[in-house]
Chain A
Amino acid sequence: MIQLATQHRKQITAHGERDYPYECCGLLLGSFAEGAVKAIAEIYPISNAREEQAKRNRFLIRPEELMRGERYAETKGLDVVGFYHSHPDEPAVPSQYDLEHAWPLYSYIVVSVSVDAAQDLRSWEMEADRSRFVEEEISVDLS
């Protein structure tokens, strides 16, 4: 389960809308709570590292950027607990490509964005045997 406050959800969808028709991406900073629940405390947007013509189709966070994000998280006493990216004009479902480039435990939020606005936002976690993504529940209640 992932706990995502309304303001953080808005930050992700706004990023997706801003970068449409290109993909956006970023880090989810927070902490691992009991029972593998991830509580999101901050959204860390990252610029898309890919060259212009590939941006429409792929997002990439370079390891240097991830390390920078991790160092930033450390200063706030947080962890990188997952990532988000947008699928312009595609459903909010991870692709086979996403699956081949994922690690377990992390949350992978996918937001589907059309020309007008962000549509669906769903969060996914990869099974430990790498066989597939399983959708995880998004909770807005941070109490």
Chain B
Amino acid sequence: MPITINIPTALRQFTEGNSRIEVEASTAGEALDRLTTLHAGLRRHLYDDKNALRSFVNVYVNDDDVRHQSGGETPLKDGDTVMIVPSIAGGATTEAEVASALPSLSNEEIARYSRHLIMPEVGLEGQRRLKAASVLMIGTGGLGAPVGMYLAAAGVGRIGIVDFDVVEASNLQRQIIHGTGDIGRPKIESARDRLRDINPHIEIETHETRLTSQNALGLFANYDIVVDGTDNFPTRYLVNDACVLSGKPNVYGSIFRFEGQASVFWADAPNGGGACYRCLYSEPPPPGLVPSCAEGGVLGVLPGIVGAIQANETIKIILGAEGILVNRLLLFDAWQLKFRELKLRKDPSCPVCGENPTIKELIDYEEFCGLRGQAPEQPATLEEITATELKERLDNGQHVQIIDVRETFEYDIARIPGTRLIPLGQVVTRMNEIDPSRETVMHCKAGVRSAKAIAALKQAGFPGRLINLKGGITAWSDEVDPTVAKY
């Protein structure tokens, strides 16, 4: 069917000066396709990088806007006239300010990001958005490592890193942002150097501090998105509450042994908002119930997978993509290699993001997680000995019995000579194997489990003297015998 397309003056230079072009087409979209195939120079002025009709370009069929009909599917019949009419927009608008504020890319950057640029979902504008974006990473451990490295590689313009730890050998099995030569260095320095090496075009800001209720809101204010790579409940609740209070998305990940979780907690998310961490877990578990990775272990590649998912979601938030992990909790089992997904709902009675919030400022999260009251009690009732003192006693021929409360596989990795292994879970039932007439030193890896074992034995009525080895076998290796492996 012959259709006439009227060409506006400005575009006639692309149609050899013709003001009318005849094409065969049955829909408005098809007519434009034919037109831009015949006159390819027109295409970029009618369609954007994503192959969508530019927002200011209007198509009329016989004086009716196709947007009020079926869009590109609007049917055409013989002799119809299609008109292309711009609406003229401009000025320094909010949107314009955003667009014009987006930084441009140098030729070096264009070459670096070319695999992004050629995908319409990212494109030049998306890459400029990434460059304009700022992300604060809490922690540069197992999760922070892939998060930081992928965000840096992707060209996120400003990355802040918060950590106060020092790189240890036992980190390197999973924290691939740090290397062997970094052992003993502050993690933020090691991470900063690695990220700079990956991408010199971005800014790295280091914050060598523990995240606290005092500094969190001030830190978060300078960034668009916060990525939680922490490994403890007080900081996790702190990050959540500070994100809700400052309206920032919290890209969450957590790992334990073979299992990981990821979600985007974003109370102010577009289209109705999303659940926060407290909508999912309003209260932390009792202290000690959930072991840390240091106690329970973690498969090294697991934080790599979960952290990469966090990086993925962070980039999608910056790009304004759909399908973000809002109101969805992703569960991953690395051992079974299975992903599962739970739907989350914003809890109207959530104490921080609900309809009548009771938490309007940051609180004491150590106390909230039940960790405050516990700490002062322990030293009062717990007798301790350092590794050096224990060595002296042994050297002086003192008849000390040493009980190792770790697991068998840990005992296989490293042991203090002359010790007896009774794992923590069996210590009470096998109490009769410990001689109450002798002084007993209990140890584990770092001193936490042995303190629990002493408390359990005392509760069970063990009559003998129990002393905790401060710092566990790790301290023994540091202070007494470096040939004992640290793990």
Residue numbers of A with Cβ under 8 A of B are 23, 25, 32, 54, 57-63, 66-67, 79-81, 83, 85, 87, 90, 94-98, 100-106, 108, 128-130
Contacts and interface: CB of A to CB of B under 8 A. Distances in A.
A87 B45 contact: no
Contact of B9 (A61, A79, A108): A79
B91 A100 contact: no
Interface stretch (B92-100, B254-262, B287-295): B92-100
Contact of A97 (B10, B45, B95): B95
Nearest to B58: A63
Interface in B273-315: none
B396 interface: no
B62 to A, nearest CB: 13
A102 B88 CA distance: 8
A95 B101 CA distance: 10
Given A57-B92, A97-B93, A98-B90, 5 more contacts: A66-B85, A66-B87, A95-B97, A96-B100, A103-B45
A103 B86 contact: yes
Interface string B68-107: 0000000000000001011111111111110110100000
Given A95-B99, A97-B100, A104-B10, A87 B91 contact: yes
Nearest to A73: B9
Contacts, number: 107
Of the four ranges (under 10, 10 to 19, 20 to 34, 35 or more), the interface on chain B belongs to: 20 to 34
Among A66, A103, A128, find the residue whose CB has the most chain B CB atoms closer than 10 A: A103
Contacts of B9: 32, 79-81, 105-106
B11 A103 contact: yes
Contact of A105 (B13, B92, B93): B13
B87 A60 contact: yes
Given A80-B9, A101-B56, A105-B9, A85 B91 contact: yes
A79 B11 CA distance: 13
Contacts of A61: 87-89
Interface of B: 8-11, 13, 41, 44-45, 54-56, 58, 60, 65, 83, 85-97, 99-100, 102
B127 to A, nearest CB: 15
A107 B83 CA distance: 21
Which 8 A/B pairs are nearest by Cβ-Cβ distance? A97-B96, A96-B100, A61-B88, A98-B90, A63-B85, A58-B93, A105-B10, A63-B58
A23 B89 CA distance: 11
A106 B44 CA distance: 16
A91 B102 CA distance: 18
A32 B91 CA distance: 26
Contacts of B94: 57
A62 B90 contact: no
A66 B10 CA distance: 13
23 contacts: A57-B94, A58-B90, A60-B87, A60-B89, A61-B88, A66-B85, A67-B60, A67-B83, A81-B9, A87-B91, A95-B91, A95-B97, A96-B102, A97-B89, A97-B90, A100-B54, A100-B99, A101-B55, A101-B56, A101-B86, A103-B11, A105-B9, A105-B10
A62 B86 CA distance: 8
A97 B13 CA distance: 24
Nearest to A98: B90
Contacts of B85: 63, 66-67
Nearest to B46: A103
Contact of B90 (A66, A95, A128): A95
A81 B44 CA distance: 20
Contact of B89 (A59, A81, A96): A59
Contacts of A108: 90
Contacts of B65: 63
B45 A101 contact: no
Contacts of B92: 57, 87, 90, 95, 97
